[in-house]
Amino acid sequence: MNRPLQMSRRALLRGFGVGAAGALAYAALGACGSDGGNAPAAGGDPWKRFQGTTINFISENTAPSAAIAANTKPFEELTGIKVNIQQMELTKLVENVSLDLSSGTAGYHVIYADPYQVLAPFSDGLVDLNEFIGNDEFPQPPLGLEDFIPSQLEAAGRFLDGQKLFALPYDTPTMIWQYRADLFEKYHDRMADDLGFDPTPSINITWEQYFQIADWFNKNAKDDVPYGTGHQAKQHDSLQCDFSNVLWAYGGDYFAGGQQLGTLGTKEPGKSTLASDAGIAAAEFYAKLLGIAHPGSRTWDWDGVGSAFQSGQIAMCPNWHEFAAGNEKALPGKVGYAPLPKGPARSANIWGGTGIGINANCSEAERGAAWLFVNWATSPDTQFMCLASEVGGGTPTRTSVYQRPEVEEAKKRPSKLPNILTADAVNEAWKQENIGLRPKVATWNELDTALFTELSRMIAGEVKPDAAMRTVARKFDEINKV
């Protein structure tokens, strides 16, 4: 069995700076590691071929992983394979994956391969899944690859090469406008009279109007809600995500290749375009918006702003649509969902989907067992289980799941599948003209850090927006050696 060449430690650590804390965290993994697994059994049930093997799955703290971790029994009964699932914050995951891939062994066999922070920098350390797809010795994806949403298969699974497939789409969080529908209904007429436009959230509302709505809540609705808007503006990846929606809406982008770099990606993105007139205009508006947002915004990531919304601290926010499950528990029937506002160029809704892949350092048995798990975890039945899970709520990446009658029925309240209440907003956000795709480049981890570090200084008032964008563009060019 041909296996990719092991990635050099230097190449991996260049993709992500690994500190002492990460090294200690990785060292603790030894207790979880496999000893190489059993040899695959010949013949018989292909799902039982690797029974007795133990595999480890590393994942970000996500809805589908929470659902699967709470219900691994169906997979273990189907395969005889034991699966351990370790969930953590994304930055720590990237650090641990970097250490694992560079070790020459496989402490983690199945990897949550974020397209930007794992797949692009570390694709050489992942198995090309074509090793299994079309191979009669292994179970094939139910309904074929055609059942995956095509744009998500490309964005989550491929890098540089349109033939190689490094991951199968696993989750598909997308940032949309989440708002207190009860408060918008209560104050609708007063807001409309004062502001001079219909404030009902929709893709037709501009970001400038969003600002005016937030400011109106700040000044007129303190008895019901402290602040009109909140944001995930912590000095963290979340700040980059929050800002990207505004950047693209204003017609700016990271590189001249624009959204095309979010699919197959590139090794040479060229000079950064962040300091363009559109990029600076976006930064100026974002700084103004954060100036009236809940002051906790500068300390919040997506979980922080989600908790603030659910506890009644803010009337609206941009956040990942999968927070709907928690919204419906905390504020049943009081929340509405819409695509994000539009800027001078368009409405842009950042897509945060991710696939799961296989560590190329795996032994033969671990490799086969990992494929069985990747295949099972992304199957329509498992995705529906995650969607319906009380602890999960992940959104399917399979077209067939959305076509199930029980899913269609759940689009209206009362809904047994609360994330599907966002379906209309998310489907609009997924349209080619509205989706927001970050550039898939091997240096993204360094670029991301440079961006959110300077943005944090900007919203703290330490630097002006135009200077911040010029600094970030210069750092991008230095990182990419342009």
Tens-binned pLDDT, residue by residue, of the chain (482 aa): 333 333 333 333 333 334 433 443 444 444 344 444 455 665 689 999 999 999 999 999 998 999 999 999 999 999 999 999 999 998 899 999 999 998 888 999 999 999 999 999 999 999 999 999 999 999 999 999 999 998 899 999 999 999 999 999 999 999 999 999 999 999 999 999 999 999 999 999 999 999 999 999 999 999 999 999 999 999 999 999 999 999 999 999 999 988 889 999 999 999 999 999 999 999 999 999 999 999 999 999 999 999 999 999 999 999 999 999 899 999 999 999 999 999 999 999 999 999 999 999 999 999 999 999 999 999 999 999 999 988 877 889 999 999 999 999 999 999 999 999 999 999 999 998 999 999 999 999 999 999 999 999 999 999 999 999 999 999 999 999 99
CA distances, 60 to each of 114, 117, 215, 239, 442 (Å): 9, 12, 35, 18, 20
What is the separation, in whole angstroms, between the first and last Cα of the chain? 39
Residue 414: helix, strand or coil by DSSP? coil
Residue 475 corresponds to which amino acid? K
Neighbours of 307 (CB within 10 A): 16
What is the length of the chain?
482
Confidence at residue 104, expressed as pLDDT on a 0 to 100 scale: 86
**Cα-based angle 141, 142, 148 (whole degrees, multiple of 5):** 75
Pair 29, 57: CB distance under 8 Å: no
Please give the structure tokens belonging to residue 443.
Answer: 């240096």
Whose tokens are 């944090």? That residue is 456
pLDDT for 9 equals 30
pLDDT score recorded for residue 481: 96
Domains defined for the chain, CATH in brackets: 9-172+352-403 (3.40.190.10), 175-350+436-479 (3.40.190.10)
Spatial separation of the C-alpha atoms in residues 168 and 379, rounded to whole Å:
10
Whether the CB-CB separation of 98 and 338 falls below 8 Å is answered with no
What are the tokens at 350? Answer: 């950042």
- What pLDDT was estimated at residue 20? 38
Q: What is the SS3 assignment for 353?
A: coil
pTM of this prediction?
0.86
E strand or H helix that includes residue 56: strand 54-60
CA 361, 68, 53, 133 torsion: positive or negative? negative
pLDDT at 44: 80
φ and ψ at 40, to 5 degrees? Answer: -65, 140
Integer CA distances (angstroms), 143 to 45, 130, 394, 398, 401, in order: 20, 16, 20, 9, 11
